[in-house]
């Protein structure tokens, strides 16, 4: 059990609890659900993980938690709902976890109130609640205490939430249901969510309410999301009144029914209230009389994107009990069974590491949201998912871990992605609220599909269609979506700069935004397309392999920075380079800049499919190694990450996705010990079992997953079947791969406690064979990742060049003719 403090997270003593009906370990006890809830400024969310804190099951559609408002807003981040400080604005069922940008979700909501004095349900400030003491969260469970005396306990199933409110014995008991509540974006209106209307109905003489609410916009500027609600209380209220009132949310111009100069008053109705054409706010107040009865009110709420009936059946079927303990236990069992027990280490080991491992697994299974049967857009038998937020984050290494430990969920995701292409025209790069967007660089679902394809994921995936999907990304310019932050191309889906990429071979800096990062990403995307073409449409293979070398056309061999020569640089459509471009400083590194969230210095290392050419262009192995050594030195960064960077001052920014793979590049020099040294250093410098224990937005768990791979001693090279060998953090790890096979990773000689450095690899053995390469492939050694087996590391304190075999492959290695280059 963990409590959130402002500066520390206190670990409460936990007994070893065997879980339900088995002798298995309850790994959920090691999870600290607050890791990432706080940023660099103690007590504030800004610069932290933007994580969700509350009750949820793995990939659950419902993530039930409190929404808060933390001042000052420039030090806050409302994206996950929970913030360390600030008032509670509501308790809602839909949330993201780990995302940046404009908040999404935070609805539908309830709020328990101990009195209605001075409460105007149309003026949210009048019913916001102050928290008292520390919040408590464990896997599947959340508790907070209000100054009003009300205690709130929460737990969730896949499509329903259970709220347990305990009121002071002498107080009144009310629950406000506000259908117009959502997570706002306090500092800007253009991508803030807004309320678009709803309807609420109370079933006469019962304790059930139903209806829907529609909330639009938010992060990806999506259309209204309509969510159907079916709520119930465990005892019939003595009074239940619906209300409606004018929509005076000041956000933008949307649906505002009159000037915000006056605070409106609600109109109370009988059993139902609806928004009508002006998008009026609707809700209800439920009240229970007297102080003689129970001081507890429980509510179970089902939601559905399809219908009220479906929402009600989720409530009834998934929450047959009103018991918070039982509901929490069921959630915990599911997490243990479907997530934590997939990677088993000894529960008696280093407790900090156990917390880091199982918390990381937890955070990488909160989104995307599994919504099988919950697709409101088209009807068919394919599974449905939402909240891919975003592929830009997920493709780096997270999908590769799901591939191993979540093969069923993962196959379902891939089928859904292809189905989205079939029904909407494009694969998503980002998607939330049933809507595609935003594309940060390339069409990175291509990489996801290719990674699954090259590792042999087939099942019910139709790869003819999968190939058609990625080929469309490679060939068809998406419709321009007029997003205000980029006047030069679509941010919704696809590759907005194909009009450069196909004729020029690179993305130009005069006709398109983010030329450097798009060029680098499109190159890997086309490599990915070629990997699927190899099996599905071999005649296309050469074309996409050739295009995958496009980054070389954007390589300026004369560009110089910090005594290193040769970088990917912005190049104009007339063929000249932007010579004065600042290689170590990308400015705002934003939508309209020449490179997105990374400098040319960083992106020059992000060519995983052709490291061989990258090394050559950097002047050969020795220059490459010097440059690599340099980017990890403190105080080298030309970009000030401020409090957003949690102290990162090196060019390599381990907190952001483009640089995830860079520390492992020493493997390509057969100096694996340096990869181990660097990556461990980064992990121990920036990841902690504390509220501010993650360096920035967790990005749907991408940062957490980076840490999991680090602890396993492996790193996948996405879009290829290659895994680099690094150095495990545990002596014995059993991983369930391919549904029911066991991959065991053992580390003999590991001796790294309290600053000791007995973690360098001395030798490796895979399935009994001495292994002289610092990498292996998915199907190597009799199918190590498909059939299971054992990887045995001998570790020690000597920094040893133990690998004598080939360096990891560069399957996208292409040598361009001089005439092709300039
Ligand atoms: C937020 O704004 C306040 C002034 O209103 C300022 O003192 C503080 O430094 C700002 N915080 C950040 C993180 O910029
Ligand atoms: C609700 O119950 C009361 C008291 O039993 C009854 O008078 C009233 O008619 C009922 N209302 C409806 C709509 O059934
Ligand atoms: C509270 O209401 C104000 C004014 O109507 C609005 O600007 C704000 O977004 C609301 N905040 C939340 C968290 O609902
Ligand atoms: C009304 O909303 C606008 C835009 O958000 C804001 O600038 C103004 O101060 C608000 N007026 C009042 C009286 O709250
Ligand atoms: C509950 O209180 C309300 C308001 O005081 C009153 O109208 C109603 O009759 C009471 N109901 C019961 C069942 O006591
Ligand atoms: C891994 O599995 C082996 C074989 O079943 C077992 O002997 C070992 O104890 C397991 N290790 C852990 C940490 O679970
Ligand atoms: C795969 O999709 C293609 C194109 O839609 C279709 O022709 C083919 O029948 C599908 N294959 C299977 C096995 O369903
Ligand atoms: C570049 O090399 C020169 C000459 O060796 C040296 O004086 C200078 O300090 C170096 N600059 C950097 C940034 O390392
Ligand atoms: C090439 O294009 C850039 C950007 O439009 C321009 O600044 C430069 O002068 C052009 N160079 C030549 C040689 O046309
Ligand atoms: C990026 O650009 C958007 C749109 O102009 C702006 O709202 C946002 O604050 C910018 N972010 C950064 C980090 O500069
Ligand atoms: C690039 O930006 C860095 C950091 O702002 C600055 O120190 C450096 O002088 C700039 N370099 C060039 C060539 O403008
Ligand atoms: C436990 O693990 C943490 C994190 O890796 C490390 O800092 C600490 O030294 C380890 N403690 C022992 C006693 O090994």
In tens, the pLDDT along 600-645 reads 999 999 999 999 999 999 999 999 999 999 999 999 999 987 766 6
Least confident of 7-21, 265-279, 724-738, 754-768: 7-21
Which ligand 9 atom sits closest to the C-alpha of 573?
2
Residue nearest to ligand 12 atom 3, measured at CA: 352
Ligand 8 centroid vs 660 CA: distance in angstroms?
28
Tokens at 681, concatenated: 């250093």
Average the pLDDT over 162-187 and give the result: 95
> CA 288, CA 116: separation in Å to the nearest integer?
12
Kindly state if the Cβ of 468 falls inside 6 Å of ligand 7.
Answer: no
Rounded to the nearest 10 degrees, what angle do helices 463-475 and 445-454 cross at? 140
Out of 2.40.160.40, 2.70.98.10, 3.40.250.10, 3.40.50.720, which CATH number does the structure's domain 6-338 have?
2.70.98.10
Q: Which atom of ligand 10 is nearest to the CA of 191?
A: 7
What is the average per-residue pLDDT within 429-442?
97
pLDDT in tens, 501-554: 999 999 999 999 999 999 999 999 999 999 999 999 999 999 999 999 999 999
- Angle, to 10 degrees, between the axis of helix 702-712 and the axis of helix 398-405? 60
The DSSP string of 65-96 is: EEEEE-SSGGG---TTS--SSSEEEEEES---
pLDDT score at 207: 95
The answer to whether the CB of 749 falls within 8 A of the CB of 694 is no
DSSP-assigned letter for residue 816 = P
Query: What's the sign of the alpha-carbon dihedral 248, 435, 366, 382?
Result: positive
**Cα 180 to ligand 3 centroid, rounded to whole Å:** 10
Top-confidence residue, 16 or 178 = 178
The predicted-structure confidence for 36-52, as pLDDT tens digits, reads as follows: 999 989 999 999 999 99
Q: Is ligand 4 within 6 A of the CB of residue 204?
A: no
Residue 13 pLDDT level (bands cut at 50, 70, 90) = very low
Q: Atom of ligand 11 at shortest distance to CA of 638?
A: 4
Cβ of 291 closer than 6 Å to ligand 4, yes or no, is no
User: What is the rounded average pLDDT of the residues 581-589?
Assistant: 96
Out of 357, 732, 740, 742, mutate this one to test ligand 6's pocket (max ligand atoms within 8 Å of CB): namely 732
Residue nearest to atom 9 of ligand 9 (CA): 576
Q: Is the CB of 239 under 6 A from ligand 5?
A: yes
- CB-ligand 3 contact for 106 (6 Å cutoff): no
Residue with the larger pLDDT of the pair 293 and 811: 811
Task: Measure CA 757 to chain center.
Answer: 32
Is residue 818's pLDDT more than 80? no
The verdict on the CB of residue 219 being under 6 Å from ligand 10 is no
- For residues 80 and 363, the answer to whether their CB atoms sit within 8 Å is no
The predicted structure's pLDDT at residue 292: 64
Locate 509 and state its tokens.
Answer: 């800096």
Output the pLDDT for position 67.
98
pLDDT at 32 over 90: yes
* Ligand 2 contact, 204 CB (< 6 A): yes
What share of the chain has pLDDT > 90, as a percent?
89
Split at pLDDT 50, 70, 90, the class of 259 is low
Ligand 2 centre from 676 Cα, in Å? 72
- CA nearest ligand 12 atom 12, residue: 753
- Give the position, in ligand 6's atom list, of the atom nearest the Cα of 344: 14
Q: Return the DSSP state at 481.
A: -
| Position 817 pLDDT exceeds 90 | no
Please state the length of the chain: 822
What confidence score (pLDDT) does residue 260 get? 62
Q: Which position has the token pair 């090196």?
A: 650
User: 638 CA to middle of ligand 11, Å?
Assistant: 7
- What is the band of 1 on the pLDDT scale with cuts at 50, 70, 90? very low
Nearest-atom number in ligand 3 for the CA of 248 is 5
What is the pLDDT averaged over residues 279-308?
92
Our answer on whether the CB atom of 510 is closer than 6 Å to any ligand 9 atom is: yes
Average pLDDT of the segment spanning 425-449: 98
CATH 2.70.98.10 domain residues, the chain: 6-338
CA–centroid distance, residue 176 to ligand 5 (Å): 18
Write out the two tokens for 85: 């400080």
- Could you give phi then psi for residue 568, rounded to 5 degrees? -70, 130
Query: Which residues are near ligand 1 (CB < 6 Å)?
Result: 46, 72, 74-75, 643
Burial of 312 (C-beta count, 10 Å sphere; 0-12/13-18/19+): buried
* pLDDT value, residue 8: 36
Q: Among the bound ligands, name the one nearest to the CA of residue 174.
A: 5
Q: How far is the CA of 206 from the centre of ligand 2 (A)?
A: 10
pLDDT digits (tens, 9 = 90+) for 200-229: 999 988 899 999 999 999 999 999 999 999
Q: What is the average per-residue pLDDT within 104-129?
A: 96
pLDDT of 412 over the 80 cut: yes
584 close to ligand 11 (CB < 6 Angstrom): yes
CA 679 to CA 689: how far, in whole Å? 18
8 Å CB contact between 274 and 201: no
Provide mean pLDDT across the span 688-696: 96
How far lies 277's CA from each of 270, 336, 448, in Å? Answer: 20, 47, 43
Per-residue model confidence as pLDDT tens digits over 67-107: 999 999 999 999 999 999 999 999 999 999 999 989 999 99
Beta bridge mates, 140: none
Q: How confident is the model at residue 9, as a pLDDT?
A: 36
For the chain, the average pLDDT equals 94
pLDDT tens digit string along 700-755?
Answer: 999 999 999 999 999 999 999 999 999 999 999 999 999 999 999 999 999 998 88
Residue 753 DSSP label: G
- Distance (Å) of CA 138 to CA 32, 424, 478: 7, 39, 43
Q: 371-724 maps to which CATH number?
A: 1.20.1610.10
Residue nearest to atom 6 of ligand 3 (CA): 249
Per-residue pLDDT tens over the stretch 464-507 = 999 999 999 999 999 999 999 999 899 999 999 999 999 999 99
254: confidence class by pLDDT, cuts 50, 70, 90: low
Q: Distance from the CA of 566 to the center of ligand 10, in angstroms? A: 30
Calculate what percentage of the chain has a pLDDT beyond 70: 95
């Amino acid at each position: 059990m963990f409590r959130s403090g402002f500066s520390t997270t206190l670990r409460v003593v936990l007994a070893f609890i065997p879980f339900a009906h088995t002798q298995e370990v309850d790994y959920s006890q090691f999870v600290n659900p607050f890791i990432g809830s706080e940023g660099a400024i103690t007590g504030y969310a800004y610069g932290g993980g933007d994580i969700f804190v509350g009750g949820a099951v793995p990939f659950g559609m419902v993530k039930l938690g409190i929404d808060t408002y933390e001042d000052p807003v420039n030090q806050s981040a409302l994206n996950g709902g929970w913030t360390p400080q600030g008032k509670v604005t509501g308790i809602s069922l839909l949330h993201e976890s780990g995302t940046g940008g404009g908040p999404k979700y935070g609805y539908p909501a309830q709020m328990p109130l101990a009195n209605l004095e001075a409460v105007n349900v149309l003026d949210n400030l009048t019913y916001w609640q102050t928290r008292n003491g520390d919040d408590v969260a464990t896997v599947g469970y959340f508790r907070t205490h209000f100054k009003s005396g009300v205690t709130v306990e929460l737990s969730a199933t896949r499509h329903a939430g259970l709220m347990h409110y305990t009121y002071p014995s002498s107080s009144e008991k009310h629950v406000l249901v506000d259908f117009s509540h959502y997570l706002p974006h306090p500092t800007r209106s253009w991508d803030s969510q807004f309320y678009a209307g709803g309807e609420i109905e109370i079933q006469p003489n019962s304790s059930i309410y139903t209806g829907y609410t529609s909330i639009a916009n938010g992060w990806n500027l999506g259309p209204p999301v309509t969510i159907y609600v079916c709520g119930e209380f465990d005892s019939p209220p003595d009074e239940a009144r619906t209300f409606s009132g004018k929509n005076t949310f000041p956000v933008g111009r949307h649906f505002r029914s009159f000037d915000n100069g006056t605070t409106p008053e609600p109109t109370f109705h009988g059993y139902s209230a609806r928004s009508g054409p002006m998008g009026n706010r609707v809700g209800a107040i439920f009240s229970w009389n007297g102080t003689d009865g129970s001081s507890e009110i429980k509510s179970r709420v089902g939601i559905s994107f399809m219908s009220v009936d479906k929402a009600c059946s989720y409530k009834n079927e998934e929450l047959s009990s009103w018991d918070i303990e039982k509901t929490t236990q069921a959630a915990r069992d599911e997490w243990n069974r479907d997530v934590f027990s997939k990677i088993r280490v000894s529960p008696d080991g280093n407790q900090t590491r156990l917390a880091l491992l199982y918390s990381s697994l937890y955070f990488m299974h909160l989104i995307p949201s599994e919504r099988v049967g919950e697709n409101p857009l088209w009807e068919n038998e394919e599974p449905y998912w939402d909240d891919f937020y975003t592929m830009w984050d997920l493709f780096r290494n997270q999908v590769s871990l799901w591939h191993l430990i979540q093969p069923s969920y993962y196959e379902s995701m891939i089928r859904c992605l292809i189905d989205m292409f079939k029904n909407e025209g494009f694969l998503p790069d980002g998607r939330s609220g049933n809507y595609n967007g935003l594309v940060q660089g390339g069409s990175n679902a291509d990489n996801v599909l290719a990674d699954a394809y090259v590792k042999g994921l087939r099942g019910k995936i139709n790869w003819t269609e999968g190939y058609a999907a990625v080929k469309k990304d490679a060939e068809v310019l998406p419709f321009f979506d007029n997003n205000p932050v980029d006047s030069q191309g679509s941010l919704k889906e696809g590759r907005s700069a194909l009009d450069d990429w196909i004729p020029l071979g690179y993305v130009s800096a005069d006709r398109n935004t983010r030329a450097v990062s798009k060029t680098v990403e499109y190159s890997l995307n086309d490599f990915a397309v070629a990997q699927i073409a190899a099996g599905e449409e071999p005649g296309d293979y050469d074309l996409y392999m050739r295009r995958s070398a496009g980054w070389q056309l954007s390589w300026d061999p004369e560009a110089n920075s910090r005594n290193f020569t040769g970088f990917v640089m912005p190049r104009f459509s007339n063929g000249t380079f932007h010579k004065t471009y600042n290689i170590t400083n990308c400015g705002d590194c934003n939508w309209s800049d020449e490179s997105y969230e990374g400098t040319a210095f960083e992106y020059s290392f992000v060519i995983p499919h052709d490291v061989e050419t990258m090394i050559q262009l950097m002047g050969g192995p020795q220059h490459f190694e010097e440059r690599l050594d340099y980017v990890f030195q403190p105080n080298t960064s030309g970009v000030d990450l401020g409090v957003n960077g949690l102290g990162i001052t090196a060019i390599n920014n381990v907190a952001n996705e483009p640089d995830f793979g860079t520390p492992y590049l020493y493997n390509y020099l057969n100096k694996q010990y340096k990869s181990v040294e660097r990556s461990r250093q980064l992990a121990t410098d920036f990841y902690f079992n504390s509220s501010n224990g993650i360096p920035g937005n967790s990005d749907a768990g991408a940062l957490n997953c980076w840490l999991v791979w680090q602890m396993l001693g492996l790193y996948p090279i996405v879009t290829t079947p290659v895994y680099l060998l690094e150095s495990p953090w545990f002596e014995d790890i059993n991983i369930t791969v391919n549904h029911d096979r066991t991959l065991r990773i053992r580390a003999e000689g590991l001796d790294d406690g309290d600053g000791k450095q007995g973690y360098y690899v001395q030798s490796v053995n895979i399935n009994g064979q001495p292994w002289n390469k610092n990498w292996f492939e998915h199907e190597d050694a009799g199918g190590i990742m498909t059939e299971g087996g054992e990887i045995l590391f001998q570790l020690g304190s000597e920094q040893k060049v133990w690998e004598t075999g080939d360096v990891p492959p560069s399957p996208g290695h292409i040598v361009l003719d001089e005439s092709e280059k300039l």
